[in-house]
Structure 1
Amino acid sequence: MTNVRSFRTAVAVLVLAGLATVATVATARTWTSRDGKFTTEAELVDYKAGEVSLLKSDGSVIKVPLAKLSDDDQDFVLKQYPAAEEEKEKEEGKGGADDVREWTSSDGKFTTRARFVTLSGGKLRLEKPDGQTVDVPLSRLCEADRAWVKDRIDGGDEEVAAAKETPAGESTQGSGQLASNAVEMRLVEMKIGKGNRSKPDARTRYILGVTGPQYFLAQSNQAASPYAERFKGLVKKEPTYEYKEPFRAVAMIDGEQFAFVLDATGRTPKGYDRLYVDLNRNGDLTDDKPFNTKDIEGTPTADRVAAQSTFDRVPISLERDGVTVDHVFGLFVDYTWTPQAWRTIVQMRSLVYREGEIAQNGRKIPLLLIDRNSNGRFDDGASSRRDAAYSQISHGDLLLVNPKLHGSQSAADASNPAWHFVNKTICLEDHFYLLEVSPFGDRVKLEPSKSAVGYVNNASPVYRAVLFSDEHGVLGITGMKDRNVSLPAGKWEIASYTVGVPDNAGTVVAASFQDKPTTFEVQQDSTTELSFGAPFRAIVTASRAADGKVGLSLSLVGQAGERCGSLLVGGKRPPAPKFEVRSQAGDVVYSGQFEYG
């Protein structure tokens, strides 16, 4: 089961890489046409006179007009050829109302290249190079675009003035805000396959990449099993096990305790291959049919056993408020034994998700709902645990809105705009909605929020911040330097952030405010500067150690006292810092090197 094992260790290290990944000119990438119908793998080799030259793997060169490529591809080309971008901006600046230009939303999150068509009722109709037209309210455009409209379009000055009078937090006519939606969500079971050569499909890999397991551990140096007392209180009758060391544990599913036991059969078992679960929760493991598996990797020897077992379909029937569902789980077992020690690690992972779609005005927006903590529920909301000196965010379950399914690596990028914590409030396309999710995830409701809206910004080049509010819950925001990000008015707390550098791929800093909660307030129609990030400073703390020695620890701290938990430069951890201890006279009395820990 290498297909499943791989994401066990990979998911944890993927989250930081998403903010600052910029491909180089000499690297092949997937290029997409503006209408999304055509793609090709090729390297960018030249750009001049509005035409892109692409080198394919067979050695052929194709030339494509820049305007025929997707927005992402156009941005990529112009980043590699900044002189061309400056030329384009100059042309757009002096261009007339009929020219294609770039339009930017008021919060800086969205851009599109299009030609102005008409202006009426506070809305612009824009035509993209592929012929598609979109209606955009003036109130949703940045100040520079409003100024362009005011200067070049007949009646533009009156329309811009009217747009500025639109109350914050209220939708403008035709703004694209979704109406109230109650979406029925279908339960979908994932198929992970069997054996080394089996590989789940892209959607399954994506969802597995964001689904966290319940962990269970037992090892030889433990004084007693951590599950022994709970198991003993639940189970009154057990079968006769074949293996001398059966693994006993208790899982929490939909708020209830389910006892289970792993057994290994045969004289020389390769690993755990039988699973007992008290499905009816009556304390009797003999009246439930066991689950058996042949999906075991490992070759035991006389002095060592290292085995990985997969139970790929364990349905558990759950009932709530007259609704019954079969929630399917998978158990992934790693067992190691030697004459000196043994250890068993079990991951219990949800193998179902919910899917549905919002349909409005011809639009179909797909939704995926993920039981991210594998506890049988889909309504676990993001929350904050905090006191005067401590803060910690629990993310709960996950709602994906119009996700691009590219496997677990893309899914693990928390800066992905498709990601939304199951939460009181979520933001879709610059609009805020109240979110309700039923416990089993069969129903999702979105209601337009009537909260007043303000703005925040930060001086970091690009950033992703996780914020918390008693009224609105946990929200993740993504921003760029000097660009405002919309946020419901009220009091907020910064939980954590990741900062990237657009021109330096893989250079990111991740930090949290766990030791010192930092609060700020957003006022309606006003902009609040978020205090985090650079300048960073190094703090060395000394503590007494044994034998008359002193222990030194080094922390990297941001401007608001937040401590950095991870630092990557060019995708790699920088060399460990060196230090010197000097006397008052300036003599070096000791030198050394810090260790990452």
Structure 2
Amino acid sequence: MMNISARIFVLLLGVTVLNGLVFAEEPRDVLLRYVTVDESARGFAPRGSFYPNFTNQPPAGDWTLPEWTGKHPLFALVSLGDQERLMVLDIAGPKSLMYDCVFFDANANLDLTDDPVIQGKARRSRGSYVNVEFPAEDVTIEHGGRSHPYRFQPSLSAYKNESRETSPAFPGYNLRASLEVQCYYAGAFSLGGKKYSLMLADSNGNGIFGDALSRCSNCWSRGRIHLMGDTLFLTEGGEPGYYDGVSFGAWWRVGGRLMSAAMDPSRKKLTLTPVEGLLFPVTLSAEAERMMLIEDKEFKGITCFRPGREIQLPAGTYRFVDYRLVRKETNGALWHLQASVGTGATPVEVGADLKPEIVFGEPFRPVVEVPNWSCARRSGGSLRLNFEIYGAGGESVDEVSLLSGTSSLALAKRSSRPKEPAYIILTPEGELVDRGTFEYG
């Protein structure tokens, strides 16, 4: 027979479990609108891009190709949605300054003869540079058995670089071609009595909106965690801007709720489903405007918007990747700071009977570093000095700038950033070696 103390223990245990348990809620659909960006549009619009890898020969496949005007066309496969399409660069005529024709398999039928040629205009600038402007192209993307519209704009630039020649058609020139995304999705939703506005960009230019954050395995590390995926621009009230961008996580923490996010561009909707099950508290050492967390085991991204000083997460191992802080001066001037963490950041364990804290932000400390490569390549007794700012979690500050108002602090000569810091180099005996000012890079 259960005694009184045992009953009390069981009751308290049940209350503790219930406090961390999230009960099922209905998913909420956020209706979206598809927005195309005009070539001459001004103001902010989410963008994305893809850089094709061109070769001198067509890829394997049963392609139907037209007759080329030039002797050295360039070929690349472009993945949009679930289909690969062939893209070819050619010239309009013998007087072309650069590749100024794009053949693109817009309908993905392996036939480039039934698609209109995208004609560009080449302009020479600063002597050795050539830029080619092309009109935007509208196509239909097939993904997951459904279709949705998509707009992109080819772009091509070339500069003189004898050691990195791209094609014998233009000797000594290195070419850089891209597909610039000229469309996005926008919408709004209410949660907890607050209204949120969002924009969603196809940042990686693969035609699939809502690619959740993942690790970029082939990116140059330099001690950083490099991410892939699309970008969410989210704000409370008003319209999102450039600084409101954050990686699109599989989970969102917004309005005090933790939800999974699933995008369906064919139906023009985003579905937010509350995460069910046991959640445990995690303390944040600073108050962020937005923050990106990752769960180590599955590398699941958690997009946090104004998370406050405590959030709740399922049991697991987590670390922050980047964040944005917004701070006010006493006179009302508004500043923002963006920072990202390296691969050596300490993760935190989340679970029962644990008191995890994610440490970041203030206090910040300035550090002057001499890069290893500068020591190896030094000549004439000169060294490269880097001025870095690190936060409490070992993160590196990437951006500090004035957003609005008139600051009481001194500003840089040509931007809204803080005034460039000065340095003095002394010998151990106190003799002056050099003095100067750091420059923004």
Distance 2:95 2:67 in 1: 17
Structure 1 letter corresponding to 2:38? I
> Does residue 1:521 correspond to 2:328, yes or no?
no
Alignment of 1:277-426 (within 5 A): 277-279=104-106, 285=112, 287-293=113-119, 296=121, 298=123, 306-318=130-142, 320-321=144-145, 323-334=146-157, 342-354=173-185, 369-384=200-215, 390-394=223-227, 396-398=229-231, 406=239, 410-414=240-244, 421-426=247-252
Match of 1:540 in 2: 369
**Residue 493 (structure 1) shift:** 0.4
Aligned position for 1:214: 50
Structure 1 residue 252 and structure 2 residue 79: aligned? Answer: yes
Match 2:309 to one of 466, 469, 484:
484
Conserved? CA contact 1:353–1:369, under 8 Å: yes
Going from structure 1 to structure 2, the CA distance change for 1:441 and 1:536 (only over 3 Å counts) comes to farther
Say which SS state the counterpart of residue 276 (structure 1) adopts. strand
SS for the counterpart of 1:240 is coil
The structure-2 alpha-carbon separation of the partners of 1:314 and 1:332, relative to structure 1 and needing over 3 Å to count, comes to: farther
Match of 2:398 among 541, 565, 585: 565
Deviations 1:16-44 (A, max 9, x none): xxxxxxxxxxxxxxxxxxxxxxxxxxxxx
Encode CA deviations 1:167-221: one digit per residue, 9 max, x unaligned: 23436xxxxx9622456x677351515xxxx437xxxx65xx32211135xxxxx
Kept in 1, the 8 Å contact 2:56–2:72? The answer is: no
Q: Measure how far apart 1:260 and its partner are.
A: 0.8
Q: Indicate the SS of the match to 1:514.
A: coil
Is the counterpart of residue 556 in structure 1 residue 389 in structure 2? yes
In the aligned structure 2, how far is the partner of 1:281 from the partner of 1:588? Answer: 68
Partners of 2:271 and 2:326 lie apart in 1 by 34
Match for 1:531 among 344, 359, 365? 359
- 8 Å Cα contact 1:385/1:391 also seen in 2: no
Q: Is the 8 A contact 1:272 1:309 kept in 2?
A: no
Q: Percent identity?
A: 17
**Contact 2:282/2:358 (<8 A) preserved:** no
Does the CA-based 8 Å contact 1:455-1:525 persist in structure 2?
no
1:406-427 superposed Cα distances (whole Å, 9 cap, x missing partner): 4xxx431236xxx6x5433212
Match of 1:154 in 2: none
Residue 511 of structure 1: aligned partner: 339
C-alpha separation in 1, matches of 2:194 and 2:256:
17
**For 1:430 and 1:305, how far apart are their aligned partners in 2?**
51
Deviation at 1:400, TM superposition (A): 5.9
Q: 1:340 to 1:579 in 2, by over 3 A?
A: farther
Give the aligned residue type for 1:251: V
Q: How many residues align?
A: 394
Q: Which amino acid aligns with 1:487?
A: Q
Paired position in structure 1 for 2:36: 190
Q: For residues 546 and 361 of structure 1, what CA distance do their matches in structure 2 show?
A: 58
Aligned-partner residue type, residue 179 of structure 1: E
1:168 maps onto 2:20 in alignment: yes
SS of the residue corresponding to residue 48 of structure 2 reads coil
Residue 381 (structure 1) shift: 0.7
Q: In the superposition, relative to structure 1, how do residues 270 and 432 fare at CA in structure 2: closer, same or farther (>3 Å)?
A: same
The Cα of 1:166 is off from its aligned counterpart by 7.0
Alpha-carbon spacing, 1:235–1:518, altered in 2? closer, same or farther (3 Å) = farther
- Give matches, 1:17-56, under 5 Å: none
- Seen in structure 2, the aligned counterparts of structure 1 residues 506 and 551 have a Cα distance that, compared at 3 Å, is farther
- AA matched with 1:566: E
Q: Any gaps of 5 or more consecutive residues in structure 1?
A: 1-162, 172-176, 217-225
| CA-CA distance at 1:262 after TM superposition | 2.9
Equivalence for 2:41: 199
Structure-1 separation of matches of 2:401 and 2:195? 39
Which residue identity does 2:151 align to in structure 1? V
Structure 1 residues 271 and 309, CA, compared in 2 at 3 Å: closer, same or farther? farther
Find the partner of 1:429 among 255, 273, 285.
255
Instruction: Give how far 1:374 is off.
Output: 1.8
Instruction: Quote the residue 1:449 is aligned against.
Output: 275
Quote the residue 2:419 is aligned against: 574
Question: Contact between 1:456 and 1:485, CA under 8 Å: does it hold in 2?
Answer: yes
| Deviation of 1:447 (Å) | 2.2
Task: Give me the TM-score of the superposition, normalised by structure 2.
Answer: 0.69
**Cα distance in structure 2, aligned partners of 1:576 and 1:495:** 27
State TM-score, norm by structure 1: 0.53
- List runs of 5+ in structure 2 lacking aligned partners: 1-14, 162-169, 403-410
Which residue of the partner structure matches residue 320 of structure 2?
494
Q: 2: distance between equivalents of 1:362 and 1:576? A: 44
Residue identity matched to 1:414: D
Structure 1 residue 253: deviation in Å?
1.8
SS in 2 for 1:413: helix
Aligned to 1:84: none
CA distance in 2, matches of 1:576, 1:538: 11
SS at 1:167 equivalent: helix
Q: What SS does structure 2 have at the residue aligned with 1:330?
A: strand
Contact 1:276 1:290 in 2 (8 A): yes
Higher helix share: 1
Aligned equivalent of 1:134: none
Matched-pair contact (CA < 8 Å) for 1:464–1:498: yes
